[in-house]
Chain A
Amino acid sequence: AIQMTQSPSSLSASVGDRVTVTCRASQGIGNELAWYQQKPGKAPKLLIYDASTLQSGVPSRFSGSGSGTDFTLTISSLQPEDFATYYCLQDYNYPRTFGQGTNVEIK
């Protein structure tokens, strides 16, 4: 199974900060990577698919980049509603595997 290693596991940031989360795959997955946001008690929400394509309705401050084994989720200017846990998912093959999550907290 492809292992997805996400970093950091948590971070503290202020409103307006630029935030970057990374995800590394244990083998090449092309651009077959998605990013999700999850708030407490809620289902995950798709932010980005195919590594860099913004899901409809997602604010443009979210962006994704990377291919092969190294991927990045960037929030250009953190907003109060962005404090949440973020997960990456590889959809290159089965079994599907998620990163362990990054908790973005208020500084």
Chain B
Amino acid sequence: EVQLVESGGGLEQPGGSLRLSCAASGFTFSSYEMSWVRQAPGKGLGWVSSISSSGTTIYYADSVKGRFTISRDNAKNSLHLQMNSLRAEDTAIYYCARTRVANDAFDIWGQGTLVTVSS
């Protein structure tokens, strides 16, 4: 079964750091572009970051550029998001998502992990 499972969410103070992980199974992880998408409580979906299958090409939303770092470990079938200098507005459910084919729609999503930034 194709599956993505996120972990690492939790409560963090403003200015703090968290590292999210996404474990992939059921498909050849190293062949797919991967992304993080977030959803603030009661709000719509917002794209955060994407990384190519090899890890050589990376994109970030302006709102997280310089604070968040996306990475992947193809040997361990895992995707990560290092989140530094957290702000209250980063509070959201964070989903990892697979891109269907290169530069296309997100077809497989994890269940999400909740990040709460609050003092």
Main secondary structure of the interface of A (DSSP, over half): loop
> Is the CB–CB distance between B105 and A91 below 8 Å?
yes
Chain B contacts for A98, CB-based, 8 A:
44-47
Q: How far is the CA of A94 from the CA of B61 in the complex (A)?
A: 8
Complex contact B50–A96 (CB within 8 A) = yes
The complex places the Cα of A100 from the Cα of B40 at a distance, in Å, of 12
The residue in A32, A94, A96 that gathers the most chain B C-beta atoms within 10 A of its C-beta is: A96
Report yes or no: B106 in contact with A89, Cβ–Cβ below 8 A.
Answer: yes
Give the shortest distance, in Å, between B55 (CB) and chain A (any CB). Answer: 16
Interface size on B, residues (CB 8 A): 21
Question: Is A95 within 8 A of B59, CB to CB?
Answer: yes
Mark each residue of chain B from 40 to 68: 1 if its CB lies under 8 Å from any CB of chain A, else 0.
Answer: 00001111001000000001011000000
Mark out the residues of chain B between 28 and 42 whose CB falls within 8 Å of any chain A CB in the assembled complex.
Answer: 35, 37
Instruction: Tell me if A49 and B105 are in contact (CB < 8 A).
Output: yes
Question: From A47, which residue of chain B is reached at the shortest CB distance?
Answer: B105
CB-CB nearest 7 A-B residue pairs: A34-B105, A43-B109, A96-B47, A49-B105, A94-B59, A98-B45, A101-B44
Q: Jot down 11 A-B pairs with beta carbons below 8 A, ordered by A.
A: A34-B105, A43-B111, A44-B45, A44-B95, A46-B106, A49-B100, A87-B45, A89-B106, A91-B104, A97-B47, A98-B44
